[in-house]
Every structure is written in C-alpha cells, then in structure tokens.
Amino acid sequence: MKATVINKFGGTENFKIAELAKPKVKPGHVVIKIAASSVNTIDMMLRDMGESLPFHPQLPAVLGMDFAGTIDAIGDGVTEYSVGDEVYGCAGGLADLQGSLAEYMLADPALIAHKPANISMREAAALPLVGITAYEGLMRAGISAGQKVLVHGGAGGVGHVALQLAQHFGADVYATGAAGMQTDLISKLGATAIDFKSESVAAYVEKYTLGTGFDVIFDSVGGANLDNSIEAVKLNGQIATTLAMHEQDITMMHMKGLSLHVVFMLLPMIHNVGRAEHGKILKALAKVVEAGELKPVLDVEVYSLEQAGKAHDRLASGKAIGKVVVNI
C-alpha cells in the first residue's frame, strides 16, 4: 500500500511517500480502506516533539488519527461490522498504532463506528477526535437544557463542534472568536458570537448573564486563557478544558467553588483502557449528525496523500477555517 511516513521527527519536510506492506487482519480487529484523514494539532505535536512525548510513535512512522473509510477485512471475534461497511473513527497515529495517512490501517473496532449516512467521507473524517473531545467535555461538565454555555475558540476544530453539541443539548450558547471569518462562522452555526479582542470578559459577562457568569465554559483554547474562563464562569460553575499544560494560580477557582474538567481524549488509545466508550460516543455523534444538528466544517483547501505535509502547514498557519482534510 501507499503511505506517507516520517523517518525522523521535525518539520513537514520529513514527510515521504513510501510503499509499505498492507496490514494483515488479526483477531478482534478490522482492516479499513481509508478514504480520508483529517489533521489535528496533536498530529503536529507528535511530528515535532517526537520522543519528548511518552506516547510517540516508533520511526519510521505513519501519522494521522482521524479517518473515514470502508471495512476491508474482519478478524475473528468481530461481529458488529461487515466487509464494505462505511465507518469512521480515531484509532491510530501514536505509540504502536499505525496512523491513517495510508491506504489501509488496522483498527480496534472499539474505536470506530458506522459513518453518519448523510455526510461525506471527508466530513466524517473531520469529526472523530474533535467530536469525542467536545462530547466528553460537555458531559463531564454536566451540560443540561436551559444553561448558558460559553465556548472559547468557537471557530476552531473542537470549538465549532462543541457549540453545535451544546445547542443540541438545549443550551443557550455563546462563543468567542476573532472578528471576521471566525465570528461569522460562530453566528452561522447558531451561537452568539463574542469578539474577544474588542470585548472584555467583564463586559460580555455583564451583557449576556447580567454579571452572574456562565453555567458551563468549554475552553478549547486553554493555557493562559483559563484565567478568562475562571472570570467568566458563575459561582460553583463548571469549566472543561482541552489544554491544562500550564502553571496556574487557582486561588479564584477556590474562591468561586469551581470544578475543572481536563479532557485528554487520547487516553483510551494510549493505555488501552475504556476504548469502548469512544465507540459509544461516535455512535451518539452519528445520530446527532443524522438528525441535522451537527455538521463538521471543512477548510476550503483540499490535499492528497502526497500533500500531507502541506496539510500540516495549512493547519499550522492559522488560516484554516474548519478542519483540514487529506484525501487518501
């Protein structure tokens, strides 16, 4: 099979097209013919940081976690899928798991689900990692109908899914972004857009919650932005974040009685613990998509397997609006 590989960690100049042996099916697994794969920030981190991350892949490595494709072979003990089924998932690209920047990959069926019937392979490939992250964060924060929910980074990969899911759960949703294409996308997706560059946290908390604060904050920016989340959330409120690798004074979390939920959705893949939960979430997401209440947004640029490095560069540029997807 054809695949994009890296022989050393670093920049995108290390991506090379190679011919590799097609994976052989083994008991309890499936082989998937990949149609599309999307690029996530963690893919770039693995490419650049390499051995400094404990779950880095072994070189030569095939990166790529998200995918959509078709079941090509079924291993003994797998009963939920048949050859020819269209599926999607996040099941490789780290540790000893081959990634999705290849024509075929071996996958644990616990980490996949049937693809939503009403979206394309490219759209489905854009959804797993960000969808699972958004769903898990909102669930852990105890989202419920009627709450005021603020999504930081509402035009980003995780953020644009989180704000749609929050609306699906019946919340009144607000989201921060930069004025222009980002706030336009947030408004298009049905949330109230907040230009974080022109409106202070105190100003929009007063404007939209009469100074009380938001019930739930989904912070897909994280890091130093957690200070803004702490300021914007109500007393005894809930914050979910995707990035907590940051030194933080949490005095105000104590003074406001806050709960912080750190979402690191790769844990089941890394530790082979609780993988079935990802399959359940993917099935739930498929139902939301098929109900017309969730649609992944794709960047306008289209890339082939041979252009995987350019796809990484596009995401790194900050110019992409929506998920960057590679056609396999």
Q: How far apart are CA 103 and CA 69, in angstroms?
A: 10
pLDDT score, position 52: 84
- The pTM of this model reads 0.96
Domain range summary for the chain, segments of one domain joined by +: 2-127+269-327, 130-262
CA 53 to chain centre: 19
**Fold agreement between 2-127+269-327 and 130-262:** no
| Over residues 73-95, mean pLDDT | 97
pLDDT averaged over the chain? 96
Q: What percent of the chain has pLDDT over 90?
A: 92
**CATH superfamily, region 130-262:** NAD(P)-binding Rossmann-like Domain (3.40.50.720)
CATH class belonging to 2-127+269-327: alpha beta
3-state secondary structure of 269: helix
| Cβ contacts of 198 within 8 Å, gap of 6 or more | 179
Q: What is the pLDDT of residues 264-288, one digit of tens each?
A: 999 999 999 999 999 999 999 999 9
More confident residue, 54 or 196: 196
In total, the chain counts a number of residues equal to 328
pLDDT of residue 307: 96
Distance CA 218, CA 229 (A): 8
Closest by CA to 106, choosing from 71, 79, 60, 137, is 71
